[in-house]
A and B are shown apart, each in its own frame.
Chain A
Amino acid sequence: MVVLLACGVLFATGQKEQNAEVPATVGARPSWARGVDEVTGTLTVYTTMEETQQDILLKLWNQVYPKCKVEIVADSVGTLATKIRSDETSGADVVIGGMFAADGTKYHDILQPYTSRLDGDQEFHDPSGYYSFYDVQVMCLVVNPDILQELGVTVKGYEDLLQPQLKGKIILADPAASSSGWRQLQTILATMGDSFDDQKGWDYVKKLMAQSFKTNSSKDVYNLVNEGEYAVGLSYESTPAGIIAGGGATMKIVYMEEGNTAMPGGAAIAKGAPNLTAAQAMIDMLGSVEFQNMRADLAGRGSNAHCKASDLPASSVLGLKDLDYAYLGTNKDKMLDHWNELWAEVK
């Protein structure tokens, strides 16, 4: 209901954007916010955010900057990057989501550096100065309890996915096509082997492949598990957690008993952003306590040291393993090739 109302509000404000009488939220403006009249025009946001996340982003933005209209292009990060690269008139101002600390310089050609006004409050920083992190991504399994019950199995971690009853009932995202698929592969290799990227970890991957269906979209993973198409999905945490918090979902989240990994994810300003002021204002807002608290309410782990804890389990109980970003950056292609070869062998 709340979200419905929020939609209604968004809907109303969206319609009135030309109308100067829209009352600006006066009173205590947040310290990071620029003047209402300073941020105007249209801000074109290219984002990997799912709808519920987009909703809260727009809600706060329209409160703080009522005179600047946001246009959203949502897709997976590779598609967004290709679209920006191939379209000089894309008009992209910011890219939000899908950009991870381990990506190195992969997207630098379409971005420009910017240091957020709130950089000092953040727990993670990009040494290159391009990305501003607002999210900490941990991984999880999404399960459909009804189907698990029907099949008579319980799932507590990666090892449980090898049960014969689950054959064909598991969905995972292709690490070569989806950033969350790549993150899951990292997590499996960090938790299932004796050391990262060792034979033991890959042996597990091979067995898991025989059980699983592969999709290109991370959104398929949780949506199809929720709809009962699959029993278990290998997902990232925040979006399915948000959907569950929104109410009405069948799926549940299971944190792998074998352990987990965390990685800061963020946003950046597009190269040649037509509305640079608004783009900077957006990056500032993403790091703010206000935005991160709204995300926390919906289930999102914030990067701002002052933001409140979400209802998600504390990271200390997840059994986090460290990841070597430099190693990931240089060995990504090799690992993905290995994945593809194994997949071809198994199928």
Chain B
Amino acid sequence: MKQIRRFDFWSAASLTILGLFGLFLIYPLGGLLKEAVFLPEKGFTLDAFRKFFGKSYYYSTIFNSFRIALTVMFLCLLLGIPFSYFYTFYKLKGRKFLFVLCLLCTMSAPFIGAYAWILLMGNNGLITNVLKGLGVRKFSIYGFGGIVLVQTLKLFPLVVIYMNGAFRNIDSSLMEAAESMGCKGVDRFFRVLLSLTMPTILAAALLVFMRSFADFGTPLLIGRGYTTFPVLIYNEYLGENGSDYHFAAAVSIIAVGVTGLFFLIQKLANSRFKFTMNAMHPVTAVNPKKVSGIFMHIYCYAVVAISMLPQVYIIYMSFRKYNNSILLPGYSLVNYQKAWSKSLLRATGNTLFISFATLAVIIMVAVLIAYLVVRRSNIINQAIDTISMLPYIMPGAVVGIALVIVFSHKPLCIAGTLGIMIVALAIRRLPFTSRSATATMMSISPSIEEAAISLGASKLASFVKITVPMMSNGIISGAVLSWVSIITEMSSGVILYNNRTITLTIGTYVAINNGVYGVAAAFATVTTLLTIVCLVVYLKFTRLEDIRM
């Protein structure tokens, strides 16, 4: 007979989490769906979907987004895998420094990069004018090429971070075995290394695809008529004359469908590569040969330098003299002064508050989910696990609109508060943190807890005093990177913010939008500084090798 479990702390926890998901995830999604297919005057209708698929102006945005996301995905793998290979298998000079820069590249908000590239390579950009002097004229940073460039340089470090982990998990005896059978060098790289790391490659590819697909700032700034899906959603929702919530909701639903489909395809592909490895003998980095060593250094440093260029240029621009949107000769602190009068301080405060509160929420929820899924596997907890992955396929703009639709009126009116920003960000980040927490949990043997319980500790006490500390390394390394992606997140925030809940990233966006570019640069610089400080503190506590997303 099945043993009936007592209603304990864990049952309460799983019900609470389910309730939270119901309120902040399922309910808003339901509201979004209703808004998409229901009009007060017409009742149930699919006219918004008909409108979308009826005009190429609308449905072509799906193809645009797909083309960009796929191109960016392949380019990121192309840039990231060799980078990570050189980084893991060879002793490069200044590899710590290299990796920190690599992390920094991925930590700026993408639209800031887009704006910097316009300053550098726009029709009147710095580099453009130099090239003009040399007689080169025919190129454009705008549209497809520009979006791909900006996103690739911003997202390839994700591949590097993922692949570093995977390459380190490869047992060197496998490599030696391959070599002894005559499979060496490039051949070995393709036939052995890539096959062994295929699950990670697919996971990284999916992540890059989703990030690129959902990114809204970059195509908005640099797309110049090349409209992508999130931009369409945003324009339909917030456009000056055409605010059409019904249609925006329908497009959001289609967006979730499209990303969901891609997610399933990746899952399917991934299931073909199921194997476990145990790296008893991790690879040790060797000194590269002379010629190839020079090439590796040039490659890694050039990629990082190009990716860092926009951030450095933005910091420089923040000290240039501006009269609102007009750039004047000379340098000054006027941008910082103006930014100060535009609630720089409040934005910084909000950013710190929102990010730490969100982090606290997601860590708590993720740890509980991990425990429930791994130790208390039952239908409810499996459902929780599945639901917690749902936000993975929801672009930020969709999360933002869904929340606004249900929480902008009674009974639960939290639109316009810091609370809704925290909810949005927690939803967006939860799948990542909960995945890594679950993975960590799986590696902890239940026997340790059982030992504590047999010695008289309560279940809760053994969890708090034994399990959580054992998980903390894995959690902290994931959390810090979550923190950074929280402070640079804007696609949901831009729909939810107001003057009281403005954050640094949104402040930057607003300033660019209003044409006060110097102020935008000042906001962006403060964000970068904050990120660097956080990264430095983090590296004091973590080994570089443990970094994961």
Is B truly associated with A?
yes
Task: Please give, as numbers and ranges, the residues of chain B lying within 8 Å of A247 by CB-CB distance.
Answer: 323, 326
Write the A208-237 contact mask toward B (1 if CB under 8 angstroms, else 0): 000001111101000100111110000000
Stretch at the interface among A25-33, A86-94, A126-134, A193-201: A86-94
Closest to B220 in A: A216
Name the residue on A nearest B326 (C-beta): A248
Judging by beta carbons under 8 Å apart, are B124 and A229 in contact? yes
A300 smallest CB distance to B (angstroms) = 15
> A114 contacts the other chain (Cβ, under 8 Å)?
no
**Nearest CB on B from A119, distance (A):** 28
- Considering residues A4, A176, A343, which has the most beta carbons from chain B within 10 angstroms of its beta carbon? A4
Q: Which 7 residue pairs are nearest across A and B when measured between Cβ atoms?
A: A228-B124, A78-B240, A89-B416, A87-B416, A51-B324, A229-B123, A248-B326
Segment among A5-13, A159-167, A281-289 that sits at the interface with chain B: A5-13
The answer to whether A213 and B224 touch (CB under 8 A), given A8-B337, A72-B499, A79-B238, is: yes
Q: Is the CB of B241 within 8 A of A243?
A: no
A-chain residues with CB within 8 Å of residue B334 when the two chains form the complex? 4, 7
Q: Chain B nearest CB: distance from A175 CB in Å?
A: 7
Residues of B near any A CB (own CB < 8 A)? 55-57, 122-124, 224-225, 235, 237-243, 323-328, 334, 337-338, 340-343, 404, 408-409, 413, 415-417, 498-500, 510, 513-516
Cβ–Cβ < 8 Å partners of A44 in chain B: 499
- Least CB distance, B475 to chain A, in whole angstroms: 34
Task: Report chain A residues within 8 Å CB of B404.
Answer: 86-87
The interface bits of chain A over 262-297 (1 if a CB of B lies within 8 angstroms of the residue's CB, else 0) are 000000000000000000000000000000000000
Partner-binding segment picked from A177-185, A253-261, A302-310, A322-330: A177-185
Which chain A residues have a beta carbon within 8 Å of chain B's beta carbons? 3-4, 7-8, 10-11, 14, 44, 50-52, 55, 71-79, 81-83, 86-91, 98, 175-179, 182, 213-217, 219, 223, 226-230, 243, 246-249, 332, 336, 340, 343-344, 347
Which chain B residues border A82 with CB–CB below 8 Å? 237-238, 243
Q: Residues of B contacting A74 with CB < 8 Å?
A: 510, 514
Q: Is the CB of A52 within 8 A of B240?
A: no
Check if B242 sits within 8 Å of A50, measured CB to CB.
no
Using known A-B contacts A214-B225, A243-B326, determine if residue A228 contacts B499 with beta carbons closer than 8 Å.
Answer: no
Q: Least Cβ distance of B249 to chain A in Å?
A: 12
A243 cross-chain contacts in B, Cβ below 8 A: 324-326
> Can you offer 28 A-B residue contacts whose CB atoms are under 8 A?
A7-B337, A7-B341, A8-B337, A11-B341, A72-B342, A77-B240, A78-B239, A86-B404, A87-B404, A87-B498, A88-B413, A88-B416, A90-B416, A91-B416, A177-B235, A177-B239, A177-B242, A178-B241, A179-B240, A216-B235, A228-B123, A228-B124, A229-B122, A248-B323, A332-B241, A336-B241, A344-B56, A344-B57
Contact of B413 among A4, A89, A340 (CB under 8 A): A89
CA distance A52 to B323 in the complex (A): 9
CB distance from B160 to the nearest CB of A (A): 34
User: By the criterion CB–CB under 8 Å, are A88 and B323 in contact?
Assistant: no
Neighbouring B residues of A175 by C-beta, 8 Å: 241
Please judge, given known A-B contacts A214-B225, A228-B123, whether A51 and B325 are in contact too, CB under 8 Å. yes
Nearest CB of A to B491, in Å:
15
Q: Which residues of B contact A249 (CB under 8 A)?
A: 326
Our pick among B224, B237, B415 for the contact of A87 (Cβ within 8 Å) is B415
Identify which of B56, B124, B513, B515 gathers the most chain A CB atoms within 10 Å of its CB. B515
The answer on a CB contact under 8 Å between B239 and A73 is no
Whether B498 pairs with A344 at a CB distance below 8 angstroms is no
Given A51-B516, A74-B514, A226 contacting B338 (CB threshold 8 A): no
Partner of A227, one of B122, B243, B416: B122
- Give the Cβ gap from A82 to chain B, nearest Cβ, in Å: 5
A249 to B326, CA, bound (A): 6
| B contact patch SS | loop
User: Are B500's CB and A14's CB within 8 A?
Assistant: no
B415 touching A89, Cβ below 8 Å: yes
Report A-chain residues with C-beta under 8 Å of the C-beta of B243: 78, 81-82
Q: Are A219 and B241 closer than 8 Å at their CB atoms?
A: no
A246 — which chain B residues lie within 8 A by C-beta? Answer: 323-324, 326
Residues of chain B lying within 8 A (CB to CB) of residue A4? 323, 334
Bound Cα distance A248, B321 (Å): 11
- Contact flag A226-B323 (CB < 8 Å), given A77-B240, A176-B242, A344-B55: no
* B414 closest partner in A (C-beta): A89
Taking the closest CB of chain B, its distance from the CB of A8, in whole angstroms, is 7
Q: Which residues of A contact B235 (CB under 8 A)?
A: 177, 216
A124 vs B33: C-alpha distance when bound (angstroms) = 44
Given contacts A3-B323, A227-B124, A246-B324, contact A10 B341 (CB under 8 A): yes
CB distance from B349 to the nearest CB of A (A): 15
Whether the pair B324, A90 counts as a contact (CB closer than 8 A) is no
Complex: how many Å from CA A214 to CA B225? 7
Q: Which residues of chain B come closer than 8 Å to A89, judged between CB atoms?
A: 413, 415-417, 498
CB distance from B137 to the nearest CB of A (A): 11
* Cβ of A32 to closest chain B Cβ, rounded Å: 26
Q: Are A219 and B513 in contact (CB under 8 A)?
A: yes
Docked-complex contact A50 and B240, CB < 8 angstroms = no
With A51-B515, A246-B326 already in contact, the answer to whether A78 and B238 are too (CB < 8 A) is yes
List, in ascending order, chain A residues with CB within 8 A of B341's CB.
Answer: 7, 10-11, 14
Given A214-B225, A219-B514, CB of A176 within 8 Å of CB of B241: yes
Q: What separation, in Å, do the CA atoms of A98 and B56 have in the docked complex?
A: 30
- Alpha-carbon distance A24/B416, docked complex (angstroms): 34
B337 & A11 in contact (Cβ 8 Å cutoff): yes
Measured CB to CB, the closest approach of chain B to A49, in angstroms, equals 9
User: In the complex, what residues of A have CB within 8 A of residue B326's CB?
Assistant: 226, 243, 246-249
**What is the CA–CA distance of A227 and B528 in the complex, to the nearest angstrom?**
26
Q: How far is the CA of A289 from the CA of B56 in the complex (A)?
A: 51
Nearest residue in A to B238 (C-beta to C-beta)?
Answer: A79
Across the two chains, which residue of chain A brings its CB closest to B404?
A86
Out of A7, A72, A176, name the residue touching B239 (CB < 8 Å).
A176
The residues of B that contact A91 with a CB separation of less than 8 Å are: 416, 498-500
Contact B513 A217 (CB under 8 A): yes
Chain B residues contacting A73 (CB-CB under 8 Å) are: 498-499
In the complex formed, the residue of B with least CB distance to A98 is B240
The residue in chain B whose Cβ has the minimal distance to the Cβ of A55 is B324
Residue in B235, B243, B323 with the greatest tally of chain A CB atoms within 10 Å? B323
Q: In this complex, which of B239, B326, B343 has the most chain A Cβ atoms within 10 angstroms of its Cβ?
A: B326
Chain B, Cβ-Cβ closest to A219: B515
By the criterion CB–CB under 8 Å, are A88 and B514 in contact?
Answer: no
Q: Determine the distance from Cα of A82 to Cα of B242 in the docked complex, in whole angstroms.
A: 10
Report the minimum CB–CB distance from A279 to chain B (whole Å): 15
Q: Is the pair A226, B416 in contact by a Cβ cutoff of 8 Å?
A: no
B239 neighbours in A (Cβ, 8 Å): 78-79, 176-177, 216
- Nearest-CB residue, chain A, relative to B405: A86
Q: What residue of chain B has the Cβ atom nearest to residue A212's Cβ?
A: B225
A169–chain B nearest beta-carbon distance, Å:
9
Contacts of B409 in A (CB 8 A): 88
Docked CA distance A223–B323 (Å):
13
